[in-house]
Amino acid sequence: MGGEGTVEVEKWGDGVLLYTLRRGSMHLKLTNWGAITSLCLPDSQGGEVADIVLGFDNTKPYMDGTSPYFGCIVGRVANRIGGAKFSLQGHCYDLPANNGPNTLHGGFVGYDKVLWESREVNNPEGPSMQFTHQSFDGDQASASAATAPGSRDREREKPGAQLQSIIKFT
């Protein structure tokens, strides 16, 4: 790791890890479940430190679905898709409705409810983590495969053919 600071790793469950990044008096807690930020105590100029992120001290609310999306990455699309369907390039996609007649934050198994790959990044400014998640073509009835935190078109049967998708993170 570059720069001043440390990364501590704690097992939080089956494959779920909690990372605590420290630099000076600041520390940040992240987990690979949903790429969630669960705690952030920034450097304080007045000596008083306060958590500035809504989050939980354990995995239970995140994993049992009772967390109201605190600190997570939601997706494939943030917010609601009205009527749980959309049209792209002339094809209609029917999505799972998990918010009345709508799809909210990626459906029943959005990006907040999956295990992300995680790795420490060598960063000259201090400790840093990178989280990635591969979403396959058809995941939650979506169009195309995508790699979060970015998106990538995927090749189809014909060489050079690409399938577009909608993706909007928050």
pLDDT score recorded for residue 65: 81
Q: How confident is the model at residue 156, as a pLDDT?
A: 29
- Strand partners for 101: none
Architecture of domain 6-163: Distorted Sandwich (2.70)
pLDDT-flagged residues of the chain (< 70)? 1-3, 44, 47, 138, 140-170
**What's the confidence (pLDDT) of residue 33?**
92
**Cα dist from 147 to 11, 18, 28, 106, 151, whole Å:** 25, 22, 24, 14, 5
In the chain, % of residues over pLDDT 70? 77
Q: Which residues of 145-160 are buried (b: 16+ CB within 10 A; e: fewer)?
A: bbebbebeeeeeeeee
Structure tokens at 122: 């060598």
Looking at residue 168, its pLDDT comes to 54
Amino acid (1-letter code) at residue 155:
E
CA dist., res. 66 & res. 113, Å (int): 11
Q: What is the pLDDT of residue 146?
A: 65
In this structure, what token pair is assigned to residue 3?
A: 């720069």
Give the per-residue pLDDT at 97: 94
**What is the pLDDT at residue 166?**
54
The predicted pLDDT at position 43 comes to 72
Q: For position 77, what pLDDT does the model report? A: 82
Q: Which two tokens stand for residue 83?
A: 């009527």
pLDDT the model gives residue 155: 29
8 A C-beta contact, residue 110 and residue 74: yes
User: pTM, whole model, 2 decimals?
Assistant: 0.77
Domain residue spans of the chain: 6-163
pLDDT digits (tens, 9 = 90+) for 128-162: 898 888 877 767 666 666 666 543 233 223 333 34
Residue 20 confidence (pLDDT):
92
Structure tokens at 166: 């909608």
CA distance 97 to 103: 5
What are the DSSP E strand ranges found in 5-152? 6-11, 17-23, 26-31, 36-41, 80-81, 85-88, 91-94, 103-104, 117-121, 128-135, 146-148
